[in-house]
Amino acid sequence: MNNTVDVDRPSDVVYRLAAAGLGGALLGLSSERRTRAALRALGLGLIAFAVQPLFERRVEKAGDRRRRVSFKSVIDVERPVADVFAFFKNFENFAHVMGGIRSVIDYEDGRSRWEVYTPSGGTLEWDAVVTKYVPNSVIAWESVPRSAVETTGLVRFKPLAPNWTRLEIAFTYRPARTDFSDAVHSLLAPRATRRLRADLERARSYIESLPSTAVEQQPATDR
Taking only the tens place, the pLDDT of each residue in 197-223 is 899 999 999 999 988 654 444 444 444
In this structure, is residue 83 part of a structural domain? Answer: yes
- The answer for 110, left when phi > 0, alpha when psi is -120 to 50, beta otherwise, is left
Domain check: are 115 and 173 in the same one?
Answer: yes
Q: Which of 24, 48, 64 is the last residue of a domain?
A: 64
In this structure, is residue 49 part of a structural domain? Answer: yes
Decide if pLDDT at 92 tops 90: yes
140 and 153 in contact (C-beta within 8 Å)? yes
In this structure, is residue 116 part of a structural domain? Answer: yes
Domain check: are 38 and 141 in the same one?
Answer: no
Decide if pLDDT at 31 tops 70: no
d(CA 29, CA 40): 9
166 and 158 in contact (C-beta within 8 Å)? yes
pTM of the full structure: 0.66
**What are the φ and ψ backbone dihedral angles of 127, each rounded to 5 degrees?**
-105, 150
Which residue type occupies 209? S
Domain check: are 76 and 175 in the same one?
Answer: yes
Q: Which of 22, 42, 64 is the last residue of a domain?
A: 64
In this structure, is residue 222 part of a structural domain? Answer: no
Q: Which of 41, 64, 87 is the last residue of a domain?
A: 64
**Shortest CA distance to 84 belongs to which of 153, 141, 169?**
169
Domain check: are 73 and 60 in the same one?
Answer: no
Decide if pLDDT at 57 tops 80: no
In this structure, is residue 5 part of a structural domain? Answer: no
In this structure, is residue 2 part of a structural domain? Answer: no
Domain check: are 18 and 111 in the same one?
Answer: no
Domain check: are 160 and 202 in the same one?
Answer: yes
Give 153's contacts (C-beta < 8 A, 6+ positions apart): 140, 141, 142, 169, 170, 171, 172
Domain check: are 78 and 187 in the same one?
Answer: yes
Domain check: are 25 and 130 in the same one?
Answer: no
Domain check: are 40 and 73 in the same one?
Answer: no
The DSSP output letter for 5 is P
* CA distances (Å), origin 179, targets 94, 102, 201: 26, 20, 31
126 and 142 in contact (C-beta within 8 Å)? no
**Shortest CA distance to 218 belongs to which of 75, 89, 76?**
89
Decide if pLDDT at 11 tops 90: no
Domain check: are 112 and 180 in the same one?
Answer: yes
In this structure, is residue 107 part of a structural domain? Answer: yes
pLDDT in tens, 153-179: 999 999 999 999 999 999 998 887 766
Q: What is the mean pLDDT of residues 24-52?
A: 51
187-214 CB burial, b ≥16 within 10 A, e <16: eeeeebeebbeebbeebbeebeebeeee
Q: What CATH number does residue 126 fall under?
A: 3.30.530.20
**42 is in which domain, residue-wise?**
10-64
In this structure, is residue 117 part of a structural domain? Answer: yes
Number of domains in the chain: 2
Domain check: are 76 and 136 in the same one?
Answer: yes
Domain check: are 74 and 59 in the same one?
Answer: no
